[in-house]
Amino acid sequence: MTKLTHLFQPYEFGFLTLPNRIVMGSMHTGLGERADGDSRMATFYARRASAGLIITGGIAPNLEGRVNEGAATLETGEHAKHHAVVTRAVHDVGGRIVMQILHTGRYAYHKKCVGASALQAPINAYKPTPLSAADVERTIDDFVRCARLAREAGYDGVEIMGSEGYLINQFIAPRTNVREDDWGGSFEARIRFPLEIVRRTRAAVGADFLIVFRISLMDLVENGSTWDEVVALAKAVQSAGADVLNSGIGWHEARVPTIAAMVPHGAYAFITGRLKKEVTLPLIAVNRINLPEVGERILAAGEADFVSMARPLLADPELALKAKRGDLASINTCIGCNQACLDHIFENKEATCLVNPAACREEEWELPGGTHERLGATQGAKRTVRKVAVVGGGPAGLAAAATAADAGHQVTLFEAADKLGGQFLLAAAVPGKEDYKETVRYFSERISRAKADIRLGTTAGVDDLAHFDTVILATGVTPRVPPLEGLDGANVCFYDEILSGAKTAGARVAIVGAGGIGFDVAEFLTHPENETEESYFEKWGVDKTYAARGAVKAPSKEAWRSPRQVWLLQRKPGKPGETLGKTTGWIHKASLKNRGVEMLSGVGYEKVDAQGLHIQHKGEKLLLPADTIVVCAGQESVRDLLEPLKARGIDVCIVGGAHEAGELDAKRAIAQGVRAALDL
Ligand code: NAP
Ligand code: SF4
């Protein structure tokens, strides 16, 4: 068992003791802007109070600084009263919480968008109005007022957001600061803005209030900061009065994935470790630290004093409690999918979590006890015990069985295959999605601990199910077979056969269907076998030697070399990949483009024969000389048991892909599974 001794060392600030080194990093939840947001946020953070320190989602110091027009600001005593509901709830269960002050600058999606200079961000339709010298002074005052009000609201401190390409970072980098007054030009003038904010905030809040400064360690955009400038800024921020430096990696406009699933675990801790040799302030390492073991490794290597785990605490509120007692098998691991957290925020929806649909809905989705211990937990109401059969051990069935068993029901889980996991076992085979197996491990563990009866290799029939009080049908999907001549050929296979390893593709592959799975299969087929963590940096042009400003360089063509030639096809017009996630779709598209995958839209399929795949494209007949044709044409629900069960009068509910195969997605499947069990 991994010993987590470093992770659970307390840290003493004099005026504040943190019991462990796990920081719940800042993330937007969308709750702050809701009518019932105070109470829901209070519950959300209180459930996560076993982390050493919580940093809230960003709150703007003024109207211009909001990310969008609906976003929250902290400008008045009245606003502070709302925050006090949150801080009280966290303190009542022994937690510690600081509020992030975020001025988005030129990343603001509204007309009042301002910036250091009138330079528009490539990811924003709004052009910023440059702040006048008087505006700069007023903005600093707004930061200070915000910090003072945060103290009044009961926070233990503030985090001043100086990275990710937001306003403060825009002042620091020559890329976005071309001012000719006292706030631009030389490095000293460009860093005056953050230094004045920190210095005046410290003077206003006193010594016994934590000031975390989030510093951009690698901008990952051209004309960002140099390493020497980062170090000089860190030292100056320390002198100005900060207590802790949090690491920032990459601007939002950077074309480098920094937190998505394909980023190796803890890949960016090295740069925090490099700064650690230069400053005496405690440092927080960030990005893709999704397992306690990864955090422990970083701390043990002396690369940081704390590790930030934001999405991992969304996925499992009790992560710190479970890690402390060494029970890593019971942790619900964040798989870095972004589907229910960041993608929701970008769609103006409340965040939740694909693997934990109760996240941000804690008051509505009260999960049964057992593995869901927490600080200040109370025992749930007693339920009537029911005999429940769950048919299918994919994500929906696993979630249903685990939740029902934890609630005390007598659960029998039937799975036709010899392993649990269903579609998630296939997903875990895709390079960059290895963490999906963690979800299978987590739910399987809960089911075993709750002593449910697991019957692998068992296809349940109606008679097997007749004596249960309720049947939850989670029988999943089967690949759709399109009406295409020649599909019975030896050169044709389906995506599940490729991802499971049952069949191997040749050197030239045509993929029929460019949905999420078509993209995954293309990634699987074009990925070289010998990729290392260094390949990630080479592929995306991250320069660990920091030779140029921003630590970027030209991506390595060699690192993108594909072992196969691949065509990815769809019948629809328009660019393939439009249905992929908002925050990850661009990465999948860029990845396949770099590997030379040829994407064709508006295709008409004619037939498959020994020569390959015959299609029509742009009015011409074409032969794609593929050795293998992989069908990824969506799925159809497997629900053969539904009507026979109903006909026998058996109480049945249907979840996941069996319920609806179109737009089949794991987020909906897991949420339906949990909900069905909670509603028993
Ligand atoms: P999908 O996204 O619905 O895509 C199915 C593809 O098959 C489409 O490109 C469709 O395009 C094509 N197709 C449908 N009927 C066809 C037919 N009769 N003949 C030929 N082509 C046909 O389904 P999926 O790729 O199986 O993915 C299922 C779900 O898994 C997704 O919706 C997603 O939620 C989830 N998923 C997501 C990701 C991700 O975001 N990275 C990865 C994997 C899975 P045309 O009709 O235009 O040809
Ligand atoms: Fe992690 Fe995905 Fe959950 Fe977000 S939705 S917290 S990325 S598992």
Q: What DSSP assignment string belongs to 388-440?
A: EEEE--SHHHHHHHHHHHHTT-EEEEEESSSSS-THHHHHTTSTT-TTHHHHH
Measured CA to CA, the distance from residue 66 to residue 354 in angstroms comes to 27
What CA–CA distance (Å, rounded) separates 433 from 403?
Answer: 25
Phi and psi, residue 21, nearest 5°: -100, 15
> To test ligand 2's pocket by mutation, which of 258, 309, 335 has the most ligand atoms within 8 angstroms of CB?
335
Check pocket membership of 635 for ligand 1, CB cut-off 6 A: yes
Distance CA(396)–CA(163), nearest Å, equals 38
Find all residues with CB under 8 Å of 522, minimum gap 6, and list them: 511, 566, 568, 592, 595, 597
Q: Measured between alpha carbons, how far is 514 from 522 in angstroms, rounded to an integer? A: 9
| φ/ψ of residue 156, rounded to 5 | -85, -5
CA angle 596, 599, 600 (to 5 degrees): 145
At residue 330, the 3 state secondary structure works out as helix
- For ligand 2, whether the C-beta of 340 sits within 6 Å is yes
> Could you tell me if 396 and 670 are in contact, meaning their C-beta atoms sit under 8 angstroms apart?
yes
Euclidean distance between CA atoms 505 and 36, whole angstroms: 53
Cα(10)–Cα(16) distance, integer angstroms: 10
Q: Which residues contact residue 239 at a Cβ distance below 8 angstroms, ignoring those fewer than 6 apart?
A: none
Of the listed ligands, the closest to the CA of 311 is: 2
Looking from the CA of residue 340, the nearest atom of ligand 2 is 5
Smallest Cα–Cα separation from 258: which of 661, 528, 594, 551?
Answer: 551
pLDDT at 507: 97
Report the sign of the C-alpha dihedral through residues 658, 663, 669, 671, in that order.
negative
Neighbours of 498 (CB within 10 A): 24
Rounded to the nearest angstrom, the gap between the alpha carbon of residue 536 and the centroid of all alpha carbons in its chain is 18
DSSP 530-581: T--HHHHHHHHTB-TT--SGGGB-PPPTGGG--SSEEEEE-SSSS-TTTTS-
Beta pairing, strands 97-101 & 652-654: unpaired
pTM of the entire predicted model = 0.94
Ligand with the closest atom to the CA of 339: 2
How far, in Å, is the centroid of ligand 1 from the Cα of 342? 22
| Cα–Cα distances in angstroms (integers) from residue 246 to residues 215, 229, 588, in the given order | 6, 16, 29
Residue with CA closest to ligand 1 atom 32: 663
Structural contact between residues 358 and 674, judged by C-beta atoms closer than 8 angstroms:
yes
Distance CA 176, CA 116 (A): 7
Q: Is the CB of 172 under 6 A from ligand 2?
A: no
The pLDDT value recorded for residue 375 is: 34
pLDDT less than 70: residues of the chain: 1-2, 368-383, 662-664
Ligand 2 atom nearest the C-alpha of 356 is: 3
Determine whether the shortest distance from the Cβ of 351 to ligand 2 is under 6 A: no
Is 285 close to ligand 2, i.e. is its CB under 6 Å away?
Answer: no
| Ligand 2 in reach of 315 Cβ (< 6 A) | yes
* Region of residue 113 (phi > 0: left; psi between -120 and 50: alpha; otherwise: beta): beta
Q: How far is C-alpha 178 from the chain's CA centre?
A: 34
pLDDT at 568: 98
- In degrees and rounded to multiples of 5, residue 605 shows phi and psi of -85, 135
- Ligand 1 geometric centre to CA of 361 (Å): 30
Q: How far apart are the C-alpha atoms of 83 and 431, rounded to whole Å?
A: 42
Instruction: Report the pLDDT value the prediction gives residue 529, as an integer from 0 to 100.
Output: 84
Listed in sequence order, the residues at least 6 apart from 43 whose beta carbon sits closer than 8 Å to its beta carbon are 89, 362, 363
